[in-house]
Amino acid sequence: MFTIPVLDIKSDPLDVLLAVIGYRLSMLASSDNEDVQALFADRQATIEFTSEETGVARYYVFDNGEFSQHSGHADAPSLSIKFKDSMTGVKLLTQGNATGFMTAVQEGKLSMEGDYSLIMWFNKLAKHIVPPVPEELTPYIQRAKPYAYKAQKTAHHWLGVAKHKMGKS
């Protein structure tokens, strides 16, 4: 694993995703959206995400409407979320539901320490991370979906072939 020094992002998929989420959160913190501003207001919390397997760690600081993200471990996080491995973290974060987190805790795929109410709050904030698709683009997206599914199926097939050839199946 290597680090992109200018951006302070490791090549690990979880760290890349967390960094992108952090950049989007910084955009939201300075947006004019009143719903988002209400979520950021009067909130002082530090949320840390880590991967046991790779040691990746990144944390977000929410401080009364201000936001910052940092690579590494927080001194005293309000909530610490530790994923079993990076791909588990990526899957759970991209699903975007708190129920998935609770199920993963029961299955031993993640552990949490701190203020659990921050999960529900962060889930509300996460709904704003992915901007809505403009209505005028919807027909184009619908036309592209079959091709995307076909490309995904083809990529999955050739990934399996490559793994088999490399003796990793």
Q: What is the CATH number of the domain that holds 12?
A: 3.30.1050.10
pLDDT value at position 2?
Answer: 47
Range of the domain at 25: 3-126
Residues 90 and 144 in one domain: no
Q: Model-level pTM?
A: 0.74
Residues 29 and 52 in one domain: yes
pLDDT value at position 67?
Answer: 94
Residues 146 and 96 in one domain: no
Rounded distance between C-alpha atoms, residue 143 and residue 107, angstroms: 38
Rounded distance between C-alpha atoms, residue 59 and residue 54, angstroms: 16
What is the total count of domains within the chain?
Answer: 2
Do the Cβ atoms of 60 and 25 come closer than 8 Å?
Answer: yes
Q: List, for the chain, all residue ranges whose pLDDT scores fall below the cut of 70.
A: 1-8, 168-169
pLDDT value at position 168?
Answer: 62
Do the Cβ atoms of 53 and 84 come closer than 8 Å?
Answer: yes
Rounded distance between C-alpha atoms, residue 122 and residue 57, angstroms: 18
Residues 27 and 62 in one domain: yes
- Nearest Cα neighbor of 56 from 76, 79, 78, 84 is 84
Residues 108 and 160 in one domain: no
Residues 90 and 115 in one domain: yes
